[in-house]
Amino acid sequence: MAPRKHEQQGRHGAASSTHYLGTSTAMAVLARGGNAFDAAVAAGFVLQVVEPHLCGPGGEVPAVFVTAGDPTPRVLCGQGVAPAAATTAHLRDELGLEIVPGTGLLAATVPGAWDGWLTLLRDHGTLTLAEVLEPAIGYASGGFPLVPRVPPTIATVADHFRTHWPTSAAQWLPDGRVPAPGDTMRLPALAATWRRLLDAAVGPTREAQIDAARDAWCRGFVAEEIAAFCRTPVRDESGRDHAGLLTADDLAGWSASYEDALLVDTGDGWTVAKCGAWSQGPVLPQTLQLLRGAELSYPDGVATADTVHLAAEAAKLAFADREAWYGDSLDPAARVPLETLVSEAYAAQRRALIGDTASLELRPGSPDGREPRLAGYAAHSGAPRGDGVSAPGLGEPTVSRIGAVRGDTVHVDVVDAAGNMISATPSGGWLQSSPTIPALGFCLGTRAQMFWLEDGLPASLVPGRRPRTTLSPSLGLRDGEPRIAFGTPGGDQQDQWQLCFWLAHTVGGLDLQAAIDAPAWHSTAFPASFAPRGWQPGGLVVESRLGADTLAALAARGHVVTDAGPWALGRLCAVGRGPGDGLLRAAADTRSGVGAAAAH
């Protein structure tokens, strides 16, 4: 299959993101002498403006990166934690909830994106905060065109805004109407918040100025406004009004951090670098370990039925382990057995479970001989995802066919000539997930919906714990050399669509753009991370470009196949460094119509 777009190539810098304005911002920063980190931060703030249904200032950002001076991958954790008052006793026992609502104020964790981006800029960038914020402030104050998916998202929640979230109606329903695609939208309150933070960025050095702006967020007016807003109950998807739990002390007590990346040798000269088990990042290397030695093939650049079947069954086993074992455990006795989960030996044991037909069970393993435990709510398939109506991946990846709006994510990758490379997956703070805080011009995130309200699990709700997020940026190293940065929005589908890309590139031999364009698929046969958290045994969502014969063969093997259409799954981005030729490469999603890649 010939790619619909060409891979971009250049020698000075390359960038890819889910929105053309994010990519053009990154390239402009590179052109003016900034490095890959300056470019990623500037693009990240622009994406908060121009893709407001997919990320916002109240969200979070994880990233995996290498620097020109050190090729060892590191992780930036800009994922905030649960508030001190967020306990299972309160939500489950006092409020009578079975799961954390996916909208409103109860699901808010400490906003992590601001501190995450600024920490990265301070430690690895070269530009000032004012220089990297300038493009985002310009779009927020001067206006930006609404991409086609924003108005339908607003339309879905317009009545809810008018009835229950008037502050959101004031911002997103100009003159009381749903805006049209291409309309110019302005966010003056957000621009004012950023300008006020810049006014606080005072100090003798660039680094001191950035730290002052961080402090103004977590200990200053932003924290005060968030805490005040959370005290008033608002309607959430439980059908009741609940106040939020975030306080100023919660914001003051958290900051972004760095940690070692999870590095897994996949046995073919490649190594995958991911975030740890507080994300779903280990799913991709787990799946690749399960596929070691498998007969995978890509005739004419399209995966065969055998390849799709094996990949889907391997992913099911990895995601079952995610449900039983992944989390940000605060108790050393309940540690995540991560080293075992991603090991070749453990994969060899689990590989025997992959048969010729689709499994209809959720089958977590027993790493180190420990017995798996699933949340009771997740142990059995449920109608929200098993009814054949709300299968994700059609339209926006986490917006169902029946119009239920969840939220999604953005992505940005940048590489520069010096050797700096970063993959970042910002998310949360979606315009449709929580009411707008009028004094700040943005809303809070809802990532706490990924906690369970059952005690004793790695992903149980515990104050100060990170939710087990779906966000999963990636780096690929070839023979120890950082070669590609890649990622995609898509919630639970992120590591599955990355698997499609990875196999097309490393097995199929396709370049970055052709690998992104290759037909994709994903399983829905495990509990969803987003409320209402159902799943569909045997569910397999595919792109029709796999071919009618392949879809029929998959159905014959017992997969419950949903044809999503020819170009429906994934919004992948990727950048890379060629072996030996010095060329930098970039590729971007074809499917959404707004993603873009560039190199110069």
Going from the N-terminus, what domains does the chain have, and what CATH number goes with each?
264-412+476-575 (1.10.246.130)
Residue 410 has pLDDT above 50, yes or no: yes
Residue 25 has pLDDT above 50, yes or no: yes
Residue 447 has pLDDT above 50, yes or no: yes
Q: What is the pLDDT of residues 461-502, one digit of tens each?
A: 999 999 999 999 999 999 999 999 999 999 999 999 999 999
Q: Please state, rounded to an integer, the average pLDDT across all residues of the chain.
A: 93
Q: Residue 594's closest CA among 27, 113, 47? A: 47
Rounded Cα distance between 340 and 273, Å, is 16
In the block, tokens 């309150």 appear at 189
User: Region 180-209: what's the mean pLDDT?
Assistant: 97
Q: Residue 289's closest CA among 262, 311, 274? A: 311
Task: Give φ, ψ of 256 to 5 degrees.
Answer: -65, 160
Do 282 and 273 touch, CB atoms closer than 8 A? Answer: no
**To which H or E segment does residue 522 belong?**
strand 521-523
2-30 in b/e burial notation, b at 16+ Cβ within 10 A?
A: ebebebbbbeebbbbbbbbbbbbbbbebb
pLDDT at 529: 85
Rounded Cα distance between 277 and 263, Å, is 12
Q: What is the pLDDT of residues 66-81, one digit of tens each?
A: 999 999 999 999 999 9
pLDDT at 393: 32
Residue 5 pLDDT class (50, 70, 90 cuts): confident
Q: What is the pLDDT of residues 215-240, one digit of tens each?
A: 999 999 999 999 999 999 999 999 99
pLDDT: is 554 or 4 the higher one? Answer: 554
Q: Determine what percent of the chain is predicted with pLDDT higher than 90.
A: 88
Burial class of residue 217 in the structure, from the number of CB atoms within 10 Å of its CB (0-12 exposed, 13-18 middle, 19+ buried): buried
Give, in degrees to the nearest 5, the angle at Cα 480 between 476 and 486. Answer: 10
- What secondary structure letter does DSSP report for 69? T
Q: Residue 274's closest CA among 335, 334, 322? A: 322
User: Region 501-523: what's the mean pLDDT?
Assistant: 97
Residue 582 pLDDT class (50, 70, 90 cuts): confident
Q: Residue 409's closest CA among 438, 433, 389, 441? A: 433
Tokens coding 46? 């622009």
Strand 270-274 and strand 13-17: pairing?
Answer: unpaired
Q: What is the pLDDT of residues 542-554, one digit of tens each?
A: 999 999 999 999 9
CB neighbours of residue 151 within 10 Å:
20
Residue 397 has pLDDT above 60, yes or no: no
User: Region 343-370: what's the mean pLDDT?
Assistant: 96
Rounded Cα distance between 516 and 102, Å, is 30
Strand 412-416 and strand 13-17: pairing?
Answer: antiparallel
